[in-house]
């Protein structure tokens, strides 16, 4: 899975790091919490340069992760 390293970085509370497609550091992510009592939700990771994105459809969102970042339009999966 191409974004595996990035997800690891996010889970450690760091920035996502290099885009697996173009190598840009201009990457970002956002978590959406759907069930607050269980902190269950989903996450989107993307690259602002090549606009590649990855969606994790179901996960437990750790404390401290970004949940207010706007997801850009036109991401490619």
Segment contacting Zn ion by CB under 5 A, of 15-23, 29-37, 38-46, 58-66: 15-23
CB of 9 to Zn ion, least distance (A): 15
The footprint of Zn ion on residues 17-76 (CB under 5 A) is: 19, 21-22, 24, 47, 49-50
21-46 b/e (C-beta count within 10 Å ≥ 16 → b): eeeeeebbbbbebeeeeeeebebbbb
Nearer to Zn ion by Cβ, of 33 and 50: the residue is: 50
Quote the tokens at residue 11.
């889970």
Q: How many Cβ atoms sit within 10 Å of the Cβ of residue 75?
A: 17
| Binding positions for Zn ion, rule: CB under 5 A | 19, 21-22, 24, 47, 49-50
């Amino acid at each position: 899975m191409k974004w595996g390293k990035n997800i690891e970085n996010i889970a450690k509370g760091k920035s996502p790091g290099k885009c697996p497609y173009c190598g840009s550091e201009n990457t970002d992510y956002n978590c959406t919490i759907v069930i607050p009592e269980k902190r269950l939700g989903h996450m989107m990771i993307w690259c602002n340069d090549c606009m590649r994105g990855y969606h994790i459809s179901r996960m437990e969102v750790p404390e401290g992760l970004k949940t207010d970042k706007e997801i850009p339009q036109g991401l490619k999966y």
